[in-house]
């Protein structure tokens, strides 16, 4: 006569199966989270390569719109520690824009983190009066999730005793400074304990 499972044996088997299934699902969940974290890190590193290259390409095509040359308060490049504005012949959307575009890169804070956002407009559709009232939907997110992001500008300062010295300044005001900076420094801090990431973007073109 065959002997069947007792209730105790059945309960032990079910408990063992539950432990095994828990371990399997825990391992799957940890693997999934590690995969997502790796994908996110790769995406962040890729953006960190792409965004400075985009800025470099657009700065290499800096231009001064003829329509604004007669107006003293207009400019072809302006920079602050949290923004840069300029006109360029290089668009992020080359298939939809032909000619000069007005470009903004801004650093804004959201949920305790800073990010770079981007705005571009064809000069023929540019409404200057509305630039200060742009909503979030007008901008494209580029580099999110940093504790600090700043721009700085390399300028050559004339020295009576030397041919000239270069220094980094936190702003570039076209009403006070002629020409262009020699380079732009983009400094990004991911965490207060980690060293900052510093990207130097040379400006080859001179007006």
Give the tens place of pLDDT for each residue, 118-136. Answer: 999 888 887 777 777 788 8
How far is Cα 205 from Cα 62, in angstroms, rounded to an integer? 7
How far is Cα 115 from Cα 140, in angstroms, rounded to an integer? 11
How far is Cα 48 from Cα 43, in angstroms, rounded to an integer? 9
Query: In the structure, what pLDDT confidence band is assigned to residue 23 with cuts at 50, 70 and 90?
Result: confident
Structure tokens at 101: 């575009």
Whether residue 106 contacts residue 86, with contact meaning beta carbons closer than 8 Å, is answered with no
Q: What is the pTM of this model?
A: 0.71
Whole-angstrom CA distances from 76 to 20, 103, 167 are 66, 10, 21
Q: Positive or negative, the Cα torsion across 107, 110, 113, 116?
A: negative
Give the tens place of pLDDT for each residue, 93-118. Answer: 777 666 888 999 999 998 889 999 99
Residues whose CB is less than 8 angstroms from the CB of residue 108 and which lie 6 or more positions away in sequence, other chains included: 114, 115, 117
Query: How high does pLDDT run on average in the chain?
Result: 79
Predicted local confidence at residue 41, as pLDDT? 44
Structure tokens at 9: 């044996």
Structure tokens at 75: 């400019």
H/E stretch holding 22 reads: helix 7-59
């Amino acid at each position: 006569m065959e002997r069947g499972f007792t209730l105790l044996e059945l309960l032990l088997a079910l408990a063992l199966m539950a432990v095994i299934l828990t371990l399997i699902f825990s391992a799957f969940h940890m693997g999934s989270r590690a995969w997502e974290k790796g994908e996110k890190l790769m995406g962040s590193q890729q953006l960190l390569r792409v965004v400075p290259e985009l800025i470099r390409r657009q700065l290499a095509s800096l231009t001064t719109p003829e329509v604004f040359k007669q107006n003293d308060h207009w400019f072809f490049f302006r920079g602050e520690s949290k923004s840069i504005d300029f006109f360029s012949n290089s668009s992020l959307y080359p298939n939809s824009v032909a000619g000069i575009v007005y470009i903004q890169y801004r650093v804004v804070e959201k949920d305790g983190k800073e990010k770079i956002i981007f705005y571009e407009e064809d000069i023929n559709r540019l409404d200057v009066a509305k630039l200060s009232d742009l909503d979030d939907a007008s901008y494209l997110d580029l580099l999110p999730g940093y504790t600090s992001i700043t721009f700085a500008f390399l300028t050559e300062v004339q020295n009576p005793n030397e041919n000239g010295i270069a220094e980094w300044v936190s702003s570039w005001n076209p009403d006070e400074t002629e020409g262009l900076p020699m380079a732009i420094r983009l400094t990004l801090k991911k965490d207060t304990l980690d060293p900052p990431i510093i990207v130097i973007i040379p400006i080859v073109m001179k007006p």
